[in-house]
């Protein structure tokens, strides 16, 4: 099934916000997908969004001055 880019972008935001509060990212994405009608695709959305969220999170760390060896 086709997953619109705005759903993936929103899932990335869910992951980043959940990570900021040390929450369960997979559960948060699953709940987000249930609310938006992508219930059966939650694992695929989580996998794609997690990859993008890692890049965004590492950019935040670099901007904050974290030693690059800790940004992977």
Q: How many domains does the chain have?
A: 1
The per-residue pLDDT for range 55-66, each reduced to its tens digit, is 999 999 889 999
56's CB contacts (< 8 A; 6+ apart) are 12, 16
Q: What is the pLDDT of residues 7-26, one digit of tens each?
A: 999 999 999 999 999 999 99
Cβ atoms of 19 and 57 closer than 8 Å: yes
Residue 1 has pLDDT above 90, yes or no: no
* DSSP at 71: -
Give the CA count within 13 Å in the CB-facing half-sphere of 15: 24
Domain span at residue 25 reads 5-70
């Amino acid at each position: 099934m086709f997953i619109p880019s705005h759903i993936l972008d929103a899932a990335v935001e869910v992951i980043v916000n959940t990570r900021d509060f040390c929450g369960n990212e997979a559960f948060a994405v699953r709940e987000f997908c249930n609310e938006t009608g992508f219930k059966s695709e939650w694992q695929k959305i989580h996998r794609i969004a997690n990859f993008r969220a890692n890049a965004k999170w590492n950019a935040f760390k670099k901007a904050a001055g974290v030693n690059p060896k800790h940004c992977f």
